[in-house]
């Protein structure tokens, strides 16, 4: 039988007085967040008040200018006067409008919503005096909101009808919803809602479930924006712990979530869409337990994506005869995969926060947001046995010091193959780089250079770009605020691209895709909220934009547009600057990209990360049109290098801590450059050029003499010294090189060996 309960009440006086034709109001009292019982069982709602009003105007209709509203969206409950001669002290008990299941108030109510009561008045002199109020609801003793049972004749004690004869093979049940659902994405995070569910499942039902299929009528207006790929409006089938649950059940480290179907922009608003058929051997049936429900969940991801669901039917087939065959259990340790993914997400989030100045919002990355999503049961995440463990290569930024990275990699490749000119793109699955490291990744990965070819090209590039005279630098700074010519950099890169591809305007997107490459850059439109942008040679189907259709020279310019050195570049609607301003060591972002692209469960065999021997992550001064101002700013930058924590090395430490033992290898000549005695012993002539031959040698660096060791970003004449020190440094890294090389077999066997 229905029962009457009080949803909320108040005995506190609330007075609202109007002073103009404008309506005024005040929230008097609210309910607690409503629960599933109310949403599924409430059939009527009524507001009762003990109240009076005061006010009169011959030009207005009496009794119309103070009232009460039930506030969810806003619906008027009742006026506050019946007798024109009422005074302020004439208290009456008012029983407001009875909202029933036919009213839209019940259509929009969701679990967790709050219903409020608002006291209102309008026109000068009108006063609403609310002394006591009560919001009452009539509730049934069983669920009425769709769906509550498989059939009209079934109930909680008997969830399946008993009158189906044995000659009938299956029972097919259709569950529906009585209300629509609308979602609008606001960020990189997923927006979703539990729309409707099955009844709670019992042992008998679970053992006989044969298949489930969702049919919907929904539309998605789409998102017309350059570079957008994929469809980010869809329906999921999920398993909930109980009918009251709002988040998917997690088992063995994975959320019990499976995609039913996408909502394409081409769908008509009246067209029914068909989801996939979850057959009797599907994993969903292996995870169901008594008391669980199967739910329908509409979802959107990324700002601007919408899903408007009008109606749906969930069709469930249940055997009337034998039980369903037992389903095999998964072999992957998904709890370990979840744990590793959470650690990476935590490390990346911390890194992005740490590189942001205090008081500013943390830097953001789409890939980091995706790492924080639920681990779904319908994705393999790279767990197939046929998928080989990944080999990853990361290059730090560092201007002309990037030459050191090439000699380190040459040493490693010589150990792998015996051939120092082996192409790294044939041994690594993915490369990433920032600034000069981005140029190296493009040349070795996208343009498939050998290391010697890359060294020669890199030397050529450095000389062409950084050979400006002092007067040329002043002219450039006066025109653009940067020391070097953007055109010189662009022309030099275009020449290299044409030499390798035949087209100076070749795209980043790689038609062959043997080795995936991305470079890091930073959106310059809002540096208070830095956005790490991956410009790729491939499409990452798990992100909205892959930025793969920019020209190679455009991506190279974007990743190397260091403030005070090169002007920023505008691509599309945004300006980009050197990723080294915030993301100089991309190793954590490389790990995040690899997880999002290849799958959270894909193992990593080897991660090689190469530094440039510097303290690189400094906050560079604002670009100035005054060349002398720029020079002074650079001197300030060099001093701050000594004081700041090296975030590149911190990124290394965090990445190393979350990597599997024996898979992570970091090479950075900078750890030896911190020892003056080592420089003096292995390269006396270099030592003398840097520090002089006389006087006492200090054991510790000062801000001034550290600048001598970390040669300037544009000091291409000092590259030879840096190469000598790198070669000496690698002589002490033989054991580490051997271990890294041992984990780098070629991704494909040579053709002759394969035939044998």
Band the pLDDT of 630: cuts 50, 70, 90: very low
CA distance 294 to 459: 62
Compute the mean pLDDT over every residue in the chain, rounded to the nearest whole number: 79
Q: Quick one: fold of 3-139?
A: Jelly Rolls (2.60.120)
Q: Tens digits of per-residue pLDDT, 680-720?
A: 677 777 766 666 655 444 544 444 444 445 555 556 677 88
d(CA 229, CA 251): 31
Among the listed residues 388, 497, 395, 504, the one whose alpha carbon sits nearest the alpha carbon of residue 446: 497
- The residue ranking higher by pLDDT, 388 or 82, is 388
Residue 135 has pLDDT above 90, yes or no: yes
Is residue 578 flagged as an active site residue?
Answer: yes
578, 648, 659, 721: which is the annotated catalytic residue?
Answer: 578
Could you say which of 405, 435, 546, 648 is catalytic? 435
Q: Give the residue from 553, 551, 514 showing the smallest Cα distance to 430.
A: 514
Banded pLDDT at 756 (limits 50, 70, 90): very low
pLDDT at 625 over 60: no
* DSSP states of 605-672: EEEEEE--SS-----PPPP-S-HHHHHHHHHHHHHHHHHS--HHHHHHHHHHHHSPTTSEEEE-THHH
Nearest one of 619, 616, 634, 728 to 673, comparing CA atoms = 728
pLDDT above 70: percentage of residues in the chain: 74
530: annotated active-site residue = no
Residue 604 CA neighbour count, 13 Å, CB half: 29
Q: Comparing 212-226, 279-293, 513-527, which segment has the lowest mean pLDDT?
A: 513-527
Core vs surface per residue 44-82: b (16+ CB within 10 A) or e: bbbbbbebbbbbeeeeeeebebbbbbbbbeebebbbbbe
Range list of β-strands (E), 421-515: 430-434
Mean pLDDT confidence for 711-730: 76
Q: Which of 179-188, 255-264, 486-495 has the lowest mean pLDDT?
A: 486-495
In this predicted structure, the answer to whether residue 294 has a pLDDT above a threshold of 90 is yes
Mean pLDDT computed over 713-736: 82
The tens digit of pLDDT for each residue in 401-451 reads: 889 999 999 999 999 887 767 899 999 999 999 988 999 999 999 999 999
Q: Report which of residues 73 and 703 the model is more confident about.
A: 73
pLDDT at position 419: 77
Do domains 3-139 and 171-318 share one topology? The answer is yes
Pick 51 or 65 by higher pLDDT. 51
Least confident interval from 195-209, 273-287, 666-680? 666-680
Q: Which fold has domain 171-318?
A: Jelly Rolls (2.60.120)
Q: Is the pLDDT of residue 549 over 90?
A: no
Specify the pLDDT at position 584: 82
**pLDDT tens digits, residue range 172-197?**
888 888 788 999 999 889 999 999 99
Q: What are the domain boundaries of the chain?
A: 3-139, 171-318, 343-612+665-670+717-742
User: Which among 185, 651, 194, 177 has a CA at the least distance from the CA of 394?
Assistant: 651
Domain 343-612+665-670+717-742 maps to which CATH number in 2.160.20, 1.10.3470, 3.40.1090, 3.40.1440?
Answer: 3.40.1090
**Whether pTM exceeds 0.75:** no
pLDDT at 132 over 70: yes
**DSSP string over 280-320:** TTSHHHHS--TT-EEEEEEEEESTT-EEEEEEEEEEEEEES
pLDDT given for residue 125 in this prediction: 80
How many residues are present in the chain? 756
CA dihedral sign, ordered 648, 651, 653, 659: negative
């Amino acid at each position: 039988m229905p029962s009457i309960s009080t949803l909320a009440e108040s005995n506190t006086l609330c007075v609202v007085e109007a002073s103009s034709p404008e309506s005024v109001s005040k929230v008097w009292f609210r309910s607690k967040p409503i629960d599933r019982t109310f949403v599924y069982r409430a059939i009527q709602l009524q507001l009762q008040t003990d109240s009076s009003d005061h006010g009169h105007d011959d030009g207005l209709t009496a009794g119309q200018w103070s009232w009460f509203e039930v506030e969810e969206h806003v619906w008027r409950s009742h006026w506050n006067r019946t007798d024109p001669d009422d005074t302020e002290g004439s208290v009456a008990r008012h029983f407001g409008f009875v909202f029933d299941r036919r009213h839209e108030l019940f259509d929009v109510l969701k679990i967790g919503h709050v219903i409020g009561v608002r006291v209102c008045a309008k026109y000068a002199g009108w006063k609403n005096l609310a002394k006591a109020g009560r919001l009452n609801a009539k509730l049934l003793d069983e669920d009425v909101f769709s769906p509550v049972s498989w059939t009209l004749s079934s109930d909680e004690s008997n969830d399946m009808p008993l009158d189906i004869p044995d000659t009938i093979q299956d029972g097919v049940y259709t569950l529906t919803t009585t209300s629509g659902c609308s979602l609008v994405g606001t960020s990189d995070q997923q927006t979703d809602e539990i729309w409707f569910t099955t009844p709670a499942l019992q042992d008998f039902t679970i053992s006989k479930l044969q298949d489930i299929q969702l049919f919907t009528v929904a539309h998605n207006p789409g998102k017309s924006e350059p570079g957008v790929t994929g469809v980010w409006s869809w329906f999921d089938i999920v398993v909930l712990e109980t009918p009251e649950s709002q988040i998917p059940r997690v088992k063995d480290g994975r959320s019990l979530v499976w995609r039913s179907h996408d909502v394409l922009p081409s769908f008509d608003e009246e067209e029914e869409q068909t989801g996939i058929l979850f057959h009797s051997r599907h994993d969903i049936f292996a995870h169901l337990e008594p008391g669980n429900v199967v739910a329908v969940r509409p979802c959107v991801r990324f700002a601007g994506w919408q899903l408007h669901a009008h109606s749906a039917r969930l069709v469930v087939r249940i055997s009337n005869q034998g039980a369903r065959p037992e389903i095999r259990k998964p072999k992957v340790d998904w709890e370990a995969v979840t744990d590793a993914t959470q650690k990476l997400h935590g490390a990346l989030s911390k890194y992005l926060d740490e590189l942001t100045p205090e008081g500013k919002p943390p830097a953001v990355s789409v890939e980091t947001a995706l790492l924080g999503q639920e681990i779904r049961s319908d994705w393999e995440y790279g767990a197939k046995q046929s998928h080989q463990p990944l080999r990853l290569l990361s290059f730090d930024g560092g201007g002309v010091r990037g030459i050191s990275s090439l000699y380190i990699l040459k040493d490693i490749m010589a150990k792998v193959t015996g051939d120092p000119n082996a192409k790294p793109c044939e041994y690594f699955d993915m490369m990433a780089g920032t600034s000069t490291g981005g140029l190296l990744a493009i040349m070795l990965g996208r343009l498939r250079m050998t290391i010697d070819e890359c060294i020669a090209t890199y030397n050529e590039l450095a000389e062409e770009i950084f050979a400006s005279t002092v007067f040329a630098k002043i002219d450039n700074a006066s025109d653009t605020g940067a020391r070097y010519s953007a055109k010189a950099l662009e022309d030099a890169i275009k020449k290299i691209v044409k030499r390798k591809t035949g087209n100076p305007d070749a795209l980043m997107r790689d038609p062959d895709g043997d080795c995936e490459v991305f470079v890091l850059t930073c959106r310059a439109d809002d540096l208070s909220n830095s956005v790490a942008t991956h410009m790729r040679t491939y499409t990452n189907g798990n992100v909205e934009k892959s930025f793969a259709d920019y020209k190679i020279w455009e991506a190279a310019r974007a990743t190397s547009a260091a403030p005070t050195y090169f002007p920023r570049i505008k691509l599309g609607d945004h300006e980009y600057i050197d990723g080294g301003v915030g993301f100089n060591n991309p190793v954590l972002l490389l790990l995040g990209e690899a997880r999002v692209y290849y799958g959270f469960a894909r193992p990593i065999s080897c991660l090689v990360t190469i530094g440039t021997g510097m303290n690189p992550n400094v906050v560079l001064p604002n670009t100035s049109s005054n060349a002398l101002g720029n020079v002074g700013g650079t001197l300030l930058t060099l001093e701050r290098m000594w004081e700041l924590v090296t975030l590149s090395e911190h990124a290394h430490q965090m990445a190393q801590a979350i990597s599997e033992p024996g898979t992570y290898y970091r090479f950075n000549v900078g750890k030896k450059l911190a020892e003056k005695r080592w420089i003096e012993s292995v390269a006396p002539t270099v030592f003398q050029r840097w520090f002089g031959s006389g006087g006492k040698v200090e054991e510790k660096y000062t801000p001034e003499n550290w600048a001598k060791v970390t040669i300037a970003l544009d000091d291409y004449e000092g590259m030879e010294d840096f190469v000598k020190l790198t070669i000496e440094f690698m002589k002490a890294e033989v054991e580490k090189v051997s271990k890294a090389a041992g984990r780098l077999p070629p991704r494909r066997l040579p053709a002759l060996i394969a035939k044998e």
